[in-house]
Amino acid sequence: MPEITFSQAKKFLDEITNEDCVAIIHHDDGDGFCSGILYYDWCKNKDAKVEHFVYSIGKSKLRNFDLEKFNKIIVCDLAPSFMAEELELIKNKQVFYSDHHPRETPLPKEIFELITTNQGYIPSSRTAGELTGIKPWLALTGVVTDSGYFYPENQKFIDGHLEQISMTLDEFKENVSSVITNFLVYFDKDLKRAFVILQKLKSVRDVGELKKYSEPVEDEVQKFVQEYEAKKEKLGDVNFYYFEPTFRVKAPVCGIIGHQDSDQIYIFSSPKQDEDHIGLSARNTSQRRDMVKLLRAGIEGLKDASAGGHVPAAGGAIRKEDLEKFKENIRNFVKSNSIK
């Protein structure tokens, strides 16, 4: 695969014209939405014809997207482990791929890939923000929703953007990034509409318009955060928490609890939309354990299961009927792989 530099990626974007038809394919979380909107706005500013597609891991397939008419495609915030085989379907087009997950699976050699992992943990929204220079507050939102503030390589980026809008990080979390995270949860079943609403916001001050969607979600988030201590289950040194929310609040719940004690190891689980599967989110900010290895140990031998991500944060899915077996696998793994 042709690895490209930042300058070459910028050249790819600069050369988009009104004769191009561009598809933006992005993840369904905060980082994915923010980076997707930044690329979308860039293409709109270049007078190109542009559409976006929300890709949900475990649910979406590129073959189900109508991509025939597009001559250029931008893919962001989707891990190579999930996308390598998928990208074979579009390698005949001009594809720019940018992501910050570990490179475990090679992409088709025809794909233009901007690799940022050699710089550390660089969320996709930071890359999109630095390439486009559009909506710095939105780039910052993606970085913060993706916990980029835990990594010193993002400190200068975050501090500079916070200074521009005269906010502290805590103020930004409370009034911007948390609101947008909850907003996306509220529109979980209509992510196309969520994209339209979020894309139309012109400044950080406009985020207040989303609070009417955020507040009912936040109420449910706090409910499960408060229940956590009483209902968590210990699987060796792993804190396992299963809950059944009305909204898809697993991400904000695990974000809040996971950041309360960064040394603890967590697995959060809740039913997926199809109700036959359970979604998994593993967190250990201190990186005492590798969360990808932990989840992959948990799904070993399980049918129709998946796991992937980063050392400090990983996600996956199992069949609902395999929950007890998954927990047994986790117990056995941590028992035979003790840490200090």
Is the pLDDT assigned to residue 1 strictly greater than 70? no
User: Out of 130-144, 214-228, 274-288, which region has the weakest mean confidence (pLDDT)?
Assistant: 274-288
Query: In this structure, are residues 34 and 125 in contact, taking their beta carbons and an 8 Å threshold?
Result: yes
The torsion angle over the Cα atoms of residues 85, 86, 89 and 93, rounded to 10 degrees, is: -110
Question: Residue 159 and residue 156: Cα distance in Å, rounded?
Answer: 5
Chain position carrying tokens 């070459």: 8
Among 110-119, 212-221, 256-265, the range with the most confident prediction by mean pLDDT is 212-221
Q: CA 243 → CA 61, 73, 83, 278, 327, distances in Å?
A: 28, 38, 29, 10, 15
Domain boundaries, the chain: 3-212, 232-336
Tokens 């975050």 correspond to 158
pLDDT at 187: 95
Any idea what DSSP says for residue 308? Answer: E
Kindly state the percentage of the chain with pLDDT values over 90: 81
Identify the pLDDT of residue 251. Answer: 83
pLDDT, one tens digit per residue, over 11-38 is 999 999 999 999 999 999 999 999 999 9
Burial class (CB in 10 A: 0-12, 13-18, 19+), 292: buried
The structure tokens 């690329």 sit at: 39
- The CATH number of 3-212 is 3.90.1640.30
Give the total residue count for the chain: 340
On whether the pTM is more than 0.85, the answer is: no
Mean pLDDT for all residues in the chain: 94
Burial (CB < 10 A; 0-12, 13-18, 19+), residue 48, is middle
The mean per-residue pLDDT over the stretch 186-199 comes to 96
On whether the CB atoms of residues 249 and 221 are closer than 8 A, the answer is yes
Q: How far apart are CA 53 and CA 76, in angstroms?
A: 11
Tokens encoding 247: 């909204």
Q: Which residue has the higher pLDDT, 106 or 125?
A: 125
Nearest-5° angle of CA 320, CA 323, CA 328?
A: 165
Distance of CA 121 to the CA centre of its chain: 13
State how far the Cα of 210 lies from the Cα of 30, in Å rounded to an integer.
14
List, for residues 287-330, the tens digit of each pLDDT value: 999 999 999 999 999 999 999 888 899 999 999 999 999 999 99
Give the Cα-Cα-Cα angle 253, 256, 259 (nearest 5 degrees).
135
**What's the rounded Cα separation, in Å, for the pair 15 and 46?**
9
Q: Which two tokens stand for residue 59?
A: 């649910």
Half-sphere exposure of 33 (CA within 13 A, CB side): 28
Mean pLDDT of 156-168: 97
Q: What are phi and psi of 48, to 5 degrees?
A: -80, 155
Which CATH number does 232-336 carry? 3.10.310.40
The pLDDT of 49-61, averaged and rounded, is 91
- Secondary structure tally for the chain: helices H, strands E: 13, 12
Average pLDDT, stretch 193-217? 97
pLDDT digits (tens, 9 = 90+) for 2-17: 889 999 999 999 999 9
- Amino acid 340: pLDDT: 65
Q: How confident is the model at residue 115 (pLDDT cuts 50, 70, 90)?
A: confident
| Of 324, 322, 291, nearest in space to 308 by CA | 291
The order of strands in the sheet holding 277-283 is: 233-235, 238-242, 265-271, 277-283, 313-319, 306-309
Provide the 10 A C-beta neighbour count for residue 167.
Answer: 18
1 alpha-carbon distance from chain centroid: 23
Distance CA 291, CA 327 (A): 15
Strand partners, 72: 22, 94
